[in-house]
Structure 1
Amino acid sequence: MAVERTVPGGADRIDTTVAHPARRYNYWLGGKDNFQADRESGDAIAAAFPGVRLGAVENRRFLRRAVTHLVRDAGIDQFLDVGTGIPSADNTHEVAQAVDASTRVVYVDNDPIVLAHARALLNSASEGATAYLDADLRDPEGILAHPDLRATLDLSRPVALMLVAVLHFVRDDEDPYGLVRRLVDALPSGSYLVMSHVTADYFPPEQARAARGSQSFGPHGVMAFRTREEFTRFFDGLEILDPGVVSVAEWRSGDEPGVRPTAAEAGIHCAVARKP
């Protein structure tokens, strides 16, 4: 059973009776930093979409491969990871600093429980740096102006913007494309955008229409199932790396052990793109 915790300094913002995407994702990955509401919500979603746990695992593997490529092959040593989630295996800074210990990473999340766990569990290599911002993707100006971001990252040099499994929590009426564009516009040429996003493209037609139309799991939280075409729009003006817009199970996964799941089983689109 997961241990229910309180976090000094942020407890007034923590409602353990309402499911939160970060804690629910932690539950799907087999973590213990979640509450009863998160587990019930996670189970309800998994009952409707049985591949969700597999998708969560494959999404984390995609993050590991993308970060490794950017540090090892593209020379990126700065990352802005928005929608961090509760720490689990292969966090962005762990993957990056295993290749280049001097890598600097800024994590952003709007859940005080996520930030409390991050500060307690995520230790940067001494050569690099890691910062944690209490901020929201829906407020890109607040992220970009945060003094801890400016103290950690040099925005005159290329940065990898990580938006991994977070944009599907932003509704169409919240201007998701504008939010991404504002963050990308603030980064210099040679920066990268790494994104993944759930999709209903592989659902049966009736189920896909219902999912795309509702942009919600009712009491279980918002989830916008965007199509491949809608997802690809986030990369307008950027140079998408090979193999293009594909499943998280397929992106440069040739060295992954075992039998690989299909795109339909994973149910998540992804891509990595460079800002010219």
Structure 2
Amino acid sequence: MQGVGAFSSPMCVSPSIPSSSCNHPSPCNIFLGRRNSVSTPNQSRSLKRRHQSLSVSLRPENTSFSAKAAAAASSSSGSESYAEEPATGVKFQTSLALPGCSTSLSLVGTGYREKVFAIIGVKVYAAGLYVHPSISSKLDAWKGKSAADILENRSLFNSIFQAPLEKSLQIVLVRDVDGKTFWDALDDAISPRIKSLTPIDQSALSTFRSIFQGRPLKKGTSIFLTWLDSSKMQVSVSSDGVPSRTDATIESENVTFALFDVFLGDASVSASLKASVANGLAAILN
């Protein structure tokens, strides 16, 4: 996830995601990437090096979303306040009232997704994780833990997923993309994380697919993935901020967990988001 600049190939300068005819990895991988079901020794060493690197970035002075940084980055507009994701400049409301949720959810961390082609890094979207304000009551075992400890502990993120409290991920596109490309990216990330699709999973994926087929997604569009519980997730797409309705409800624990794992599992597609969330949780639990 290193590097800056634009596509070097003329075929890929368009604001839309490049087609599969480009001499680059599949566009499905631009958004989310793929997780192997079994880690090789080289992958394990790479993951260890990445965690070691992230432990440095988790120091308060280096972290983009520590409690102090969030306060400094927040700006007010009427009764609303925002925190800016620094790499993309996308602003996230610090509190969101979403359809289907029992109360407003609180922003706990932000990050971005960047795809690297050779040495060229292209930012694709920013993301912010929101949680129910009472989530700390479900995480007593981690009170007093550092952000680095939280980042290394998969069981904490599993506990957040299993907690019977709402949480939501807001994805904000920083590039235009057609809906099919976005769905293909989601499907490419989800499928390797489900060992065997059941009829319920297949129905859920079909419902999910229908949201994006033939739908252009412009820069600035927000996709909200809102987990109401471990087996039910609402999906909303909005071009002008907080959605007023839900586009679809996904009812499959395999699918809902796979999506959570894409962003907050061991092989998170956004190291910056997961590190930021770890800092936000450490602030909440201390």
TM range (shorter): under 0.3
TM-score (norm 2): 0.27
TM-score (norm 1): 0.27
- Structure of higher RCO (CA pairs closer than 8 Å, 6+ residues apart): 2
